[in-house]
Amino acid sequence: MQLSTYKFSVLVSIVFISGFAQGMLLPLIAVIFEQDGTSASLNGFHATALYIGILIASPFIEKPLRKLGYKPLILAGLLAVVLCFAMFPVWKVFWFWFVLRLLIGIGDHMLHFSTQTWITTSSPEKKRGRNISIYGIAFGAGFGIGPLMTKMLEVNENLPFWLAASLCFLSFLLMTTIRNERPETESARTSGVTAFERYKDVLKLAWVSLLPPFGYGFLEATLHGSFPVFALRNGISLDWVAVLLPAFVLGSLVFQLPLGILSDRWGRKPILIFSFVSGFFSFLATYWSMNNFWLLISLFFISGMFVGSMFSLGIAYMSDLLPKYHLPAGNILAGISFSIGSMSGPIIGGSFISWFDGGAFVFAICGMLFLLCLPILFIKNNNKISIKSKTA
């Protein structure tokens, strides 16, 4: 099952639009609620709805994928996202918007899980890091452009929601042009294994590869969900916020493909360690740079260069460590890890903003990067050997 250029282009385009919608939604609702007087803690809690949706969908998504194939799940996910974005302007109520965000999380997870698994299972090993990096670039580019839509609030509060719904519907139409496929079937020896046993095998063989998706989820959600609130409370203008967040994403776009190619050549582990350590020091430096716009935007850009590839590098690392028939389960656990990180990010970030003055929430980011780097640094690379012997 080879990944044709056209199919890959369609999948990448869909991921770009999905990233745009997500990148817009986090800071957009954070700013709307902050302007309406919602507390930072409640604002952060609301941001977790998207990732609660991912967790709800995760246990039920692998079986339909194996039975129906990739295309139906992607179409269903896109349709759910279109309908939810169209419903935001209907009723501006905290809990109604919470439910809509939760349903968007379910729809987004359906399409991301399907596209991600499709790409990882269809990419040759020598190009896996490259292809997943392009996937990450597409999502990151969309996610970086999304926060710029907060400027539309000055025109009409509903305009960003209508734009996101329209673009996601365009993705739906685009997806109908490619042919459906199904993931690789399991061997006779593993076909009777339960989902719980598959997840247990994935955790045993590739648990360390789930740490980078967790870290990226934590970082991404903290920056996009909590930083706008921190900025508004510390005299940083909305214009700054609209530039600083895309600067981080732009940095990740600049370095994501080179890091993916380097990981194909030198291995995932050394590149991941390099990314974590560099990201730690560049984020730490932002603590002393909050009053200098040009220095702060430079540090956001540099931080993005190093840590913006953690998700795609983690997925590539996981794909190296697992046999192909375990990749759907592995991608589910990667999505769960990402969502747990994303849920904890705004809560911890919002709490630090409420409890401490200044930029102390930067230490939450740096502390998390440090803790996640340690297991990757010290684990031995023997997982792939045990997989080969197991599947021989």
Residue 381: is its pLDDT beyond 60? Answer: no
In terms of DSSP H, where are the helices of the chain? 5-35, 40-47, 49-68, 70-87, 94-122, 128-145, 159-175, 195-206, 211-221, 227-233, 238-266, 268-286, 293-307, 310-321, 327-355, 361-378, 383-391
| pLDDT, greater one: 272 or 5 | 272
Contact between 312 and 136 under an 8 Å Cβ cutoff? The reply is yes
Q: Does residue 6 contact residue 178 with C-beta atoms inside 8 Å?
A: yes
Q: What is the pLDDT of residue 130?
A: 82
The DSSP 8-state label assigned to residue 185 in this structure reads: P
Give tens-digit pLDDT for 199-248.
Answer: 888 888 889 999 999 999 888 878 877 777 777 776 777 777 778 877 88
CB half-sphere exposure, 341, CA atoms < 13 A: 26
Q: What is the pLDDT of residue 383?
A: 42
* Residues 378, 170: Cα–Cα separation, whole Å: 46
- Split at pLDDT 50, 70, 90, the class of 5 is confident
pTM: 0.75
For residue 140, what is the domain's CATH number?
A: 1.20.1250.20
Please state the length of the chain.
Answer: 392
- Residue from 94, 111, 250, 95 nearest 171 by CA: 111
pLDDT score of 144 more than 60: yes
Question: 278, 306 in Cβ contact below 8 A?
Answer: yes
Most confident of 77-91, 144-158, 240-254, 328-342: 77-91
305-326 b/e (C-beta count within 10 Å ≥ 16 → b): bbbbbbbbbbbbbbbbbbbbbb
Q: How many domains does the chain have?
A: 1
What is the structure's pLDDT at 351?
76
Could you list the residue range(s) of the whole structural domain that residue 291 is in? 5-391
Cα 286 from Cα 234, distance rounded (Å): 14
Using the predicted structure, report yes or no on whether residue 186 has a pLDDT greater than 70: no
Q: What percent of the chain has pLDDT over 90?
A: 22
Structure tokens that stand for 371 in this block: 């803790």
164, 47 contact by CB (below 8 A): no
Contacts of 334 (CB under 8 A, 6+ apart): 116, 209, 210, 213, 314, 315, 318
Higher pLDDT, 307 or 229: 307
The torsion angle over the Cα atoms of residues 187, 386, 274 and 224, rounded to 10 degrees, is: 40
C-alpha span between 97 and 373 (Å, rounded): 36
Name, in order, each residue with C-beta under 8 angstroms of 172's C-beta and a sequence gap of 6 or more: 75, 78, 79, 82
CA distances from 15 to 113, 119, 134, 140, 361 (A): 11, 12, 10, 9, 30
- Confidence at residue 345, expressed as pLDDT on a 0 to 100 scale: 81
Produce one character per residue of 334-352: b if its CB has 16 or more CB atoms within 10 Å, e if not: bbbbbbbbbbbbbbbbbbb
What letter represents residue 114's amino acid?
S
CA pair distance 346, 260, nearest whole angstrom: 28
Q: At what angle do helices 94-122 and 49-68 cross, to 10 degrees?
A: 40
- Report the pLDDT value the prediction gives residue 253, as an integer from 0 to 100: 84
pLDDT digit string, tens, across residues 241-300: 778 877 887 888 888 888 888 888 888 889 999 999 999 999 888 878 777 888 888 998
In the predicted model, what is the mean pLDDT of the chain? 83
Q: Which two tokens stand for residue 148?
A: 């710029």
pLDDT score at 185: 62
Summarised one tens digit per residue, pLDDT across range 24-61 is 888 888 888 888 887 777 887 887 788 788 888 888 88
Residue 149 near residue 160 (C-beta atoms within 8 A): yes
What average pLDDT score do residues 65-70 get?
88
pLDDT of residue 370: 92
Could you tell me the maximum CA-CA distance found in the chain, to the nearest angstrom? Answer: 62
